[in-house]
A and B are shown apart, each in its own frame.
Chain A
Amino acid sequence: MKKGFPNHPYIPNSVPEIEREMLDFIGLESLDDLHKNVPDALLFKGEMDIPEAFGSEYELRRHVEELFSGDGDCKKYLNFLGAGCWQHYVPAICDEINSRGEFLTAYGGEAYNELGRFQSQFEYQSMVAELVGMDVVNVPAIDWPQAAATTCAMAHRKTGRPQIVLPAILDPEKRAIIENFGRATIEFVTVDCTEDGQIDIEDLKKKVGPQTAGVYFENPNYLGVIETRGAEISRIAHEAGAESLVGVDPITLGVLATPPEYGADIVCGELQPLGIHMNYGGGLAGFMATRDEEAYVNEYPSRLFGIAPTVEPGEYGFGDVAYDRTSFGDLREGGKEYVGTQAALWGLTAGVYLATMGPVGMEEVGQTCMQNARYAVKKLNEIKGVRANSAGGLFFKEFLVDFTATGKTVSEVNDLLLSEGIFGGKDVSAEFPHLGQQALYCVTEIHTQRDIDRLANVLARILA
């Protein structure tokens, strides 16, 4: 007979008297009888080797706080890491709203009793649509890589063609996710990048043809480079009958051109910079966006909330749009991919962020990122042996720093920086060996001049 846990604060009916009352009402002897239909062979008769429960909430708290007390974070350290998860300022209102118990613990109610959830998702959809220059945006996907994978799948289903072109410069993790997701139906082809990190147009012309469903490229790309020839890339894709698929960091779009302006058909990206804490990589949420055309809307695997009137004149509510989605072309799918719990709370947060920042705020944050990043590049280039923004092109908040000439590896440099309380940029020397000892640095609006000067001074000292 296993021991239970009477009077547990999370289990109201673990009060022995109530438990007894309920068992009697049902007509059972003991708790064991509740699983009488589980055959003996399937019953777990042992004990789980898990620590006994803490005696109090206080002890739990102490344990966890102590467990993490030795850990560093980007408040304790000066952080220059990016590469798919970035440090931006999170306005207090964002945390205030996404920790409201009503939003935090809601799930799948209807548009009546969870009107707030539907409306806040609709508003987030609407604001991101304005930001990226599209008409339709989905309820958030798990992360940008998933959104990119789905974007490729959407292009494939819409065109009926088997090939997707991916850029050579792409986060290897993202590539792995995209390729695993599309394996059953898509053939991935890689297009080269030029010295300055952008898509090699001549190579693209060779790689795009009648089998191409879409060309996927990112702006800025994984190494921070701004793609200046987006219009050309889209044109090449369109001429071959393929879709132009663009992945973006939305926090750039207060100042940078929106992808539809250079021919994008499907836009995807990462919501994390928009008011969501990094959470050790847990704060990610992907989005997809398209024009309001039936052929695109019907390809979304996710829920799409739409506004609708109610039977009461003058009142409006929400519902699911095109819930019964068919595929076009000859690929009659039995349903689009799979749908489940993803990252809706972060979508809500992104909406709060955009509403709070407003158009001026989005311009300002974009501008500050660019100014700070340029300043960092300037200061780092003053250090002997260091080449900041080694690719030489335009960048937003991330850029490569080449340490090859210093004689030290990125790993060594980062270790030394760590002992000085600084997280150096991501070591990409293993991912792109031909680039040498390079690191990907990220500078945003949260870096002050003093922060950047400190980095430069410490590096100068380390590398002297």
Chain B
Amino acid sequence: MKRIDRSKKVRTGFHQAKWDEPIIFELSTPGERGVSVPKANAAVAAAVGDGISDLPDHLKRKKRVNLPEISQNRVLRHYMRLSQMTLGADVNIEIGQGTCTMKYSPKVNEQLARLVADMHPLQDEDTVQGMLQMYYEMDLYMREISGLDKFTFQPGGGSQAIFLMASMVRGYFESIGEAEQRTEVITTLYSHPSDAAAPAVTGYDIVYVQPDPDTGLPDLEAFKAVCSEKTAAFMVANPEDTGLFNGHIKELVDYAHSVGALCCYDQANGNAVLGVARAKEAGFDMCHFNLHKTFSSPHGCSGPACGAAGVVEKLIPFLPVPSVEFDGKKYRLDCDAADEEYGVSKVRAFMGVAPVVLRAYCWIRMLGPNGLWQVTKTAVLNNNYLFKRMMSIPGISAYYEDGNNQRVEQCRYTMEQVTKDTGITSGDVQRRMMDFGMHFWTSHHPYYLPEPITLEPTESPSKKDIDEYVDTVAHIIQECYQTPDIVKTAPHRSTIHQVDERWMDDPDGWAITWKIYNRKYQ
């Protein structure tokens, strides 16, 4: 027997599970049951009847609901197969989803999160002292991490946290009588699209500052040209999607303050600076973190999540309620903490998403201050190692590279040269990466950089993992030149082949549910 040959660097044998699994309705067999349901016992039924037949006809459901009838093990098998056809972070080397911060979500946190599964949000405070203590301590930790003065965990996601910040900005200016005058929010084109979209919902006009074509950072001169007494807030991420840390951020913040505007820090990319740089030193009045990114709560297919938002002291009255207070002996929910007239009062029901907050709490407790600093340092180390290896692939480069500026948490590369030479786009490469069990993300729209690639390793992969990822990219770039067809027509070893998207924008052709599909396509 020979030793196993592990010399291949690239997973050419990979094939994703491909079950050709029918739509769940197609598994239905009349009469099958998935679970037995509790029934009212005989005495109850005798006392009150069957509960339904004496309802007025127009209030009763007319036709039995058209749900599939499937026995329990078949439902299970169906979803297990679907899970096998889902490339979660647990399964692959998660470097390819740049800006999503796909780090390891420790399993012990999953188990501990179950402790709160059956708690009702309106339980008497005496029965949730542990829960309230956890929220209270999380507030203290986030204050330390950011340097700001108080946090709320109510928003159910990063975008909602940004919306909350914009709402608080509005409340603040209303309270000092400047709301009419301040109609604009400034943001940058490399910040997250929600940094524009959420303030827009709040009623603000959005003014974007473009990146300087050489440095990739928001241009200070342009900023000054558009920042005025009409500006309510400056909403920005740092580092932005390019991965470059803007060392001039304080100048922008100071200028905004000089015209009376507030500054909000979108720290969804916070993984880059834990223990290294804080919102406070840069002068920000508000900031938010995504607990489901930097703080390890799993992404859940896109939620549930938590956007923790923090403010400086003068803005505390605008935070939503309830907040958690401690009198030395007991923890209390304070619903009166908010400014009655101008405070935001609520963005999400109850106390936000407790299990996500708990997972973040557990994660922080397993790292401590030294661990958090290590997380950031290793994440940035990984990113720079990745960067150097990626840049040595012929055809790959990165804009704004001056040989001295570093990418912190992530980087936006470009394969423009490869596209010029071969006609193959980053979208094609994305699909070919799937043949090796990997993700590969391009960019938000619009593309400021042609044929973009945005990668973010975080602190979770090992050096070997990063090597495998880069070797795979290099392998595919080589294919672009040598065997381009296989890249253009990818994926080949995934769950399905290329989707024909013709009908996605055609109202007569689209099918958002099985019901519509059956109606339109016989």
Contacts and interface: CB of A to CB of B under 8 A. Distances in A.
A280 B463 CA distance: 40
Interface in B417-456: 430-431, 434, 437, 439, 441
B282 interface: yes
Interface centre among B79, B157, B344 (most CB of A within 10 A): B79
Contact of A343 (B85, B131, B156, B431): B156
Contacts of B358: 64
Interface in B93-118: 97, 100, 102-106, 108, 110, 112, 115-118
A123 B500 contact: no
B347 A140 contact: no
A462 interface: no
B129 A116 contact: no
Given A103-B83, A378-B48, A282 B33 contact: no
Contacts of B102: 105, 107
B240 to A, nearest CB: 13
B303 A140 contact: yes
Contacts of A317: 496-497, 499
Contact of A308 (B350, B372, B499): B499
B501 to A, nearest CB: 5
A331 interface: no
A337 interface: yes
Nearest to A131: B65
A25 B386 CA distance: 11
B167 interface: yes
Contact of A372 (B40, B128, B405): B40
Given A71-B128, A96-B76, A142-B303, A2 B82 contact: no
Nearest to B299: A107
A135 B498 contact: no
Contacts of A448: 38, 41
B382 A68 contact: no
Nearest to A335: B197
Contact of A70 (B34, B129, B194): B129
Contacts of A116: 81-86, 495
A115 B356 CA distance: 25
A323 B504 contact: yes
Contact of B88 (A5, A101, A318): A101
Interface string B200-239: 1111000000000000000000000000000000000000
Contacts of A195: none
B374 A8 contact: yes
Interface string B27-65: 000001111011111011101111110011011111011
Given A358-B68, A360-B69, A10 B104 contact: yes
B513 interface: yes
A112 B491 contact: yes
A130 to B, nearest CB: 5
Contacts of A254: 61, 65
B24 A123 contact: yes
Interface stretch (B5-13, B363-371, B469-477, B478-486): B363-371
A119 B23 contact: yes
Size category of the binding interface on chain A: 35 or more
B317 interface: no
Contact of B79 (A97, A140, A449): A97
B399 interface: no
B347 A177 contact: yes
A342 B278 contact: no
A366 to B, nearest CB: 8
B461 interface: yes
A183 B203 contact: yes
Interface centre among A14, A51, A97, A126 (most CB of B within 10 A): A126
A46 to B, nearest CB: 9
A14 B245 contact: no
Contacts of B459: 10-11, 13-14
B515 A357 contact: no
A457 interface: no
A64 B170 CA distance: 38
A137 B308 CA distance: 28
B108 A61 contact: yes
A145 interface: yes
Contact of A108 (B100, B385, B406): B100
B59 A97 contact: no
A323 B194 contact: no
B162 A338 contact: yes
Contacts of B346: 145, 173, 176-177, 180
Contacts of B380: 34-35
Interface stretch (A210-218, A257-265, A401-409): A257-265
Interface string B156-169: 11111011000100
B360 interface: no
A329 interface: no
B369 A285 contact: no
Contacts of A278: 117-121
Contact of A93 (B75, B200, B505): B75
B297 to A, nearest CB: 10
A387 interface: no
A279 to B, nearest CB: 5
Given A54-B366, A99-B110, A372-B44, A361 B34 contact: yes
B84 A279 contact: no
B277 interface: yes
B389 to A, nearest CB: 8
B497 to A, nearest CB: 4
Nearest to A93: B76
Contacts of B369: 47-50, 52
Given A48-B141, A418-B127, 10 more contacts: A8-B374, A10-B460, A22-B385, A35-B276, A53-B367, A116-B86, A281-B349, A356-B72, A372-B44, A449-B40
21 contacts: A8-B374, A22-B463, A48-B144, A49-B369, A53-B365, A64-B361, A85-B121, A99-B110, A136-B512, A277-B118, A280-B351, A285-B304, A341-B305, A343-B303, A358-B33, A359-B69, A363-B64, A367-B52, A368-B38, A375-B48, A446-B38
Query: Nearest 6 pairs between A and B by C-beta?
Result: A184-B203, A340-B159, A281-B350, A281-B121, A53-B368, A116-B82
